Structure 1
């Protein structure tokens, strides 16, 4: 890993230590998309699946193809551990369709867009996250050929809220299903069979949390290496980071032999 990359990743890790998961995900996304120049607004406007795809690519670049995953069986509580091929898994994910989508159900015709990172982050702050997401992503609705009106402009907050209130549960479910099909990488779910009892366990693979855990372990190990080599040789942090990982490990082995 080049000194500039190691230094930047350490800065990313340091900045994320006191942030919530959404803030850490944004920092990682900045590292994955250096071409944006750290433009948070541009990153937050991307579909959720685009961010997840970017983070998978960053994870592969930093830590390789092999991902070790641990789950607890939902039926017998056995500890399951298996390897995931990050490259093969990422290739199986289709990119998001950024164009507006449309569903028809029980006389309703609803146009909506797939949630962006900003939509998901904002909706998570509400008690009813699903409703908040609908309010942000529903564009228009027609019932039996007529526009749905609730006494307020359709694009106003009150108009959108009233429109969502008018949507039957079956229509809301269809919207959620259609959004998932349009952006499958936004919600990566594993379905793992337990080797002990054979029961299947479903679990979400949160690539942002997974990658942050790996970055945290890497940063702490690297800083320990810096401490040991600085103590032994009097080198500065930039000098130590400028060493290749192989040479750094060799010097650490020499220190251990003393």
Structure 2
């Protein structure tokens, strides 16, 4: 990683320390899509953003993701690894591919219930959809046109009063709604219609809700675990930033170099100097 890249990442990390979940995701997306303005980043579908964050993760830390999860059956901690590109490909195709031996944790990318992206559950049924225009669902005399949720929608829902987040998502994403030919407000949509909307959103934007298909090696319990790439990537960036600043501190103390000089060192040379400090 070049000096400018390291300095920019440290600046991103510093800004994110005081930010919430949505703010950190926005900062990471700014790195993944340089030159884009805040309005543009807040207006893309969640799956598009997360796909770009997976790409950023590959660029910064490699393709292999190491994940830990607790078994819901026996509480045993499971640890497994999978390929980020494979995960995105599996999610986009709507398939689930097992990784590793059957007795080990494995599995990538299945479409979840869209609870994170749409604020509603999953249901059967079909819907008319188009990436170029609104999504449409029809059920029992209800007809609803809506757009895919965006990071801006999620941020607004997180800032809403307790218990209002789901309603805020609906109000922002529903473009038109009617029952029996008469217009209705988004808040009047019944639960079955909202579930059908969630399925349509998940089908149109599968990377917005990526799940891991897990099998506990101890008890064999099958479970689905959500992978929030923004939170995952932030944790990795936090670990990297703290380790990098520790390196800067140790080398600055030993040699009197400035931060820019230390960051300009290759990882190999930096590690060698740190080993010399330890041996001194």
What TM-score do the two structures reach when normalised by structure 1? Answer: 0.89
Deviations 1:124-152 (A, max 9, x none): 233132222111111112333x242xxxx
Among 239, 245, 249, the alignment partner of 1:217 is 239
- Shift in Å at residue 98 of structure 1? 5.3
- Shift in Å at residue 41 of structure 1? 1.1
* CA distance in structure 2 between the partners assigned to 1:226 and 1:106 by the alignment: 64
Are the equivalent residues in 1 in contact too, given 2:69–2:78 (CA < 8 A)?
A: yes
Deviations 1:198-237 (A, max 9, x none): 1112221111111111111101111111111111111111
Aligned twin of 1:142: 178
Are the equivalent residues in 2 in contact too, given 1:47–1:98 (CA < 8 A)?
A: no
- Shift in Å at residue 174 of structure 1? 0.7
Task: Tell me which stretches of 4 or more aligned residues in structure 1 moved more than 4 Å.
Answer: none
Alignment pair present for 1:191 and 2:213: yes
- Shift in Å at residue 168 of structure 1? 2.4
1:1-258 map, 5 Å: 1-36=1-36, 39-94=37-92, 97=131, 99-126=133-160, 127-144=163-180, 146-148=181-183, 163-258=185-280
More moved, 11-20 vs 127-136: 127-136
Are the equivalent residues in 2 in contact too, given 1:98–1:114 (CA < 8 A)?
A: no
* CA distance in structure 1 between the partners assigned to 2:279 and 2:147 by the alignment: 61
RMSD across aligned positions (CA) = 1.7
What TM-score do the two structures reach when normalised by structure 2? Answer: 0.82
Are the equivalent residues in 2 in contact too, given 1:193–1:200 (CA < 8 A)?
A: yes
SS of the residue corresponding to residue 93 of structure 1 reads: helix
- Provide structure 1 residue ranges, at least 5 long, that are not aligned to the other structure: 149-161
